[in-house]
């Protein structure tokens, strides 16, 4: 009698855990290929696009123009976040994620088919900017949806850990992108790589489509959103009529501070994966393949830091990890370029890897933290706007700003000052925001999956 009473609950719990493990895997694979697509463009903008799309310009002007097209994706990200947030808060997290992933895969695939300026002239960079803009729209929409699918489907004691399966997509994306580019550059001559070899990594984005199909057919929307839908259905009204307007009206200070949480990690990250590659190749005369290998290895090593920092934030709170990481970035800003400027590849590796560890400490807990700052009915809109504002104000412009500062001053000191200032912005933002995972929640034995994140 006892066995029959307990068994259904045990089976239900086992099924819930299996579903959640599949969701974590889908979130990790989907975000990894999504970020692979987005970051692949940044590496190509530093190493390939100046010659392919701006062949008549000087090396400096071609690099600046290439990084300008890189920036276009970041300009689009807040728009993508607004649109996906609106529909994600009204109709569900899953549909918004599916559309975003589909758009990203299609745009990246088409970049791989795009003729260069030598074939179609000025139309080539114009179409490139358009496709990069679509990438930005897709990227802006997917982040909030994936991290909310992961965190809202998890118990309060594991939201930091679960959210990292979306966050780990960033270093995995860098590893995948650099591995494919390294393979292409290693197997081909420089002429063949610039002619057609660079296209292969972009065409490989077709691998995203089976993951989209899996999420569409197999993944349920989150318990929190389904509960909101049930409540709205009983009242015969929409879950929320104008989620973005409501989020801005009631939470604008939180949106700005949550945006500031990403300033340090975004600035240092995009310098390491794009800006420093162009600087090392053109100004320092370092080997492109050596730097790509360092970037790949560094990203691989920091995947575990992202997972660890999210897990620790479940134990000690979200803010401590972010505060420690931001303070470390401030201190590392000047040693970073001192090591890079030696042109020694081992010291270059130390600079990039130590910086990546510090920025991963702030990035890991952010998925759970930003979501927890907002009420469920405006969470997609609030979280997406916070994340994507940081993208357009810091991320996209950083390689351009770095290149322009070095060209103007002939020194990397202004870039180090910029990194340190971004670290201070994150430090102050985390200091001002409330802790969303306090000790009483971490120690509550009754906390269950689907509990509200207020």
In order along its 454 residues, the chain shows pLDDT tens digits of 344 444 445 676 677 777 778 888 888 888 888 888 877 887 788 778 888 888 888 888 888 888 788 778 888 888 998 898 888 888 888 888 889 989 999 999 999 999 988 889 889 889 988 999 999 899 888 888 888 888 888 777 788 999 999 899 888 888 888 788 778 878 888 888 888 888 988 898 888 788 888 887 777 766 666 676 676 566 555 555 667 788 888 889 999 999 999 999 999 998 987 888 888 988 899 988 888 888 888 988 899 999 999 999 999 999 999 999 999 999 999 999 999 999 999 999 999 999 999 999 999 999 999 989 998 888 888 998 998 888 888 877 888 888 889 989 999 999 999 999 999 999 999 999 999 988 777 665 544 444 444 4
Whether residue 333 contacts residue 321, with contact meaning beta carbons closer than 8 Å, is answered with no
Q: Is residue 50 part of a domain?
A: yes
- Domain containing 401 equals 21-221+237-442
- Whether 283 maps to a domain, the answer reads yes
User: Is residue 289 a part of any domain in this protein?
Assistant: yes
Residue at 230 is within a domain: no
**What are the CA-CA distances from residue 441 to residues 155, 163, 324, 436 (Å)?**
11, 17, 22, 9
Tell me how many domains the chain contains.
1
Contact 34, 169 (CB under 8 A): yes
Would you say 43 and 277 are in contact if contact means Cβ atoms under 8 Å apart?
yes
What are the φ/ψ torsions at residue 424 (nearest 5 degrees)? -65, -35
Q: What is the DSSP letter of 435?
A: P
Kindly state whether residue 409 falls inside one of the protein's structural domains: yes
Q: Residue 454: inside a domain, yes or no?
A: no
Separation CA 179–CA 292 (nearest Å):
8
The span from the CA of 28 to the CA of 11, in Å, is 26
Q: Are 234 and 147 in contact (CB under 8 A)?
A: no
The whole-number pLDDT of residue 40 equals: 83
**Residue 10: per-residue pLDDT:** 66
CA contacts within 13 A on the Cβ side of 143? 33
Q: Which three-class secondary structure state does DSSP give residue 17?
A: helix
Phi and psi at 153, nearest 5°, equal: -95, 5
Q: What sign results for the dihedral spanned by CA atoms 177, 114, 286, 415?
A: negative
Q: Helix 59-91 and helix 398-409: axis angle, to 10°?
A: 160
Task: Assess if residue 62 is contained within a domain.
Answer: yes
Residue 101 backbone phi and psi in degrees, to 5: -65, -40
Which residues, in sequence order, are CB contacts of 78 under 8 Å at separation 6+? 140, 385, 388, 389, 391, 392
**CATH number of residue 120's parent domain:** 1.20.1250.20
pLDDT of residue 395: 79
47 in a structural domain: yes
pTM value is 0.81
Q: Look-up: residue for tokens 């689907």?
A: 450
User: Which pLDDT value is given to residue 229?
Assistant: 61
**Cα–Cα distance measured from residue 90 to residue 120, given in angstroms and rounded to the nearest whole number:** 43
CA 69/CA 326 separation, integer angstroms? 29
């Amino acid at each position: 009698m006892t066995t029959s009473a307990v068994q259904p609950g045990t089976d239900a719990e086992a099924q819930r855990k299996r579903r959640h493990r599949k969701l974590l895997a889908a979130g990790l694979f989907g975000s990894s290929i999504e970020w692979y697509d987005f970051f692949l463009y940044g590496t190509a903008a530093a190493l390939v696009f100046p010659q392919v799309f701006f062949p008549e310009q000087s090396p400096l002007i071609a690099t600046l123009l290439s990084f300008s097209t890189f920036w276009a994706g970041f300009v689009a990200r807040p728009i993508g976040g607004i649109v996906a947030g609106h529909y994600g808060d009204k109709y569900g997290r899953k549909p918004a994620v599916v559309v975003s992933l589909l758009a990203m895969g299609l745009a990246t695939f088409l970049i791989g088919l795009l003729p260069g300026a030598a074939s179609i002239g000025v139309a080539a960079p114009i179409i490139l900017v358009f496709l990069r803009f679509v990438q930005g729209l897709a990227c802006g929409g997917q982040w909030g949806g994936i991290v909310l699918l992961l965190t809202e489907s998890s118990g309060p004691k594991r939201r930091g850990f679960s959210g990292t399966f979306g966050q780990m997509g960033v270093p995995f994306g860098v590893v995948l992108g650099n591995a494919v580019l390294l393979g292409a550059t290693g197997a081909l001559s420089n002429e063949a790589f610039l002619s057609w070899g660079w296209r292969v990594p972009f065409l490989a984005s077709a691998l995203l489509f089976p993951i989209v199909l899996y999420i569409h057919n197999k993944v349920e929307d989150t318990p929190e959103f389904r509960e909101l839908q049930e409540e709205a259905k009983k009242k015969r009204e929409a879950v929320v009529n104008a989620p973005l307007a409501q989020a801005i009206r009631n939470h604008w200070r939180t949106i700005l501070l949550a945006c500031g949480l990403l300033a340090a990690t975004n600035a240092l990250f995009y310098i390491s994966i794009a800006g420093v590659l162009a600087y090392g190749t053109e100004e320092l005369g370092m080997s492109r393949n050596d730097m790509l290998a360092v970037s790949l290895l560094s990203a691989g090593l920091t995947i575990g830091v992202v997972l660890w920092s999210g897990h620790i934030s479940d134990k000690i709170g979200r803010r401590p990890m972010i505060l420690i990481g931001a303070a470390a970035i401030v201190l590392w800003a000047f040693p970073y370029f001192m090591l890079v400027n030696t042109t020694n590849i081992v010291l270059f590796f130390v600079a990039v890897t130590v910086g990546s560890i510090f920025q991963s400490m702030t990035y890991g807990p952010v998925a759970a933290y930003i979501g927890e700052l907002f009420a469920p009915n405006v969470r997609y809109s609030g979280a997406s706007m916070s994340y994507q504002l940081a993208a357009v104000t810091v991320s996209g412009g950083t390689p351009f700003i770095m290149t322009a500062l070095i060209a103007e001053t002939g020194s990397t000191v202004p870039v180090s000052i910029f990194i340190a200032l971004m670290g201070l912005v994150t430090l102050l933002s985390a200091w001002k925001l409330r802790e969303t995972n306090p000790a009483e929640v971490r120690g509550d034995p009754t906390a269950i999956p689907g509990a509200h994140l207020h």
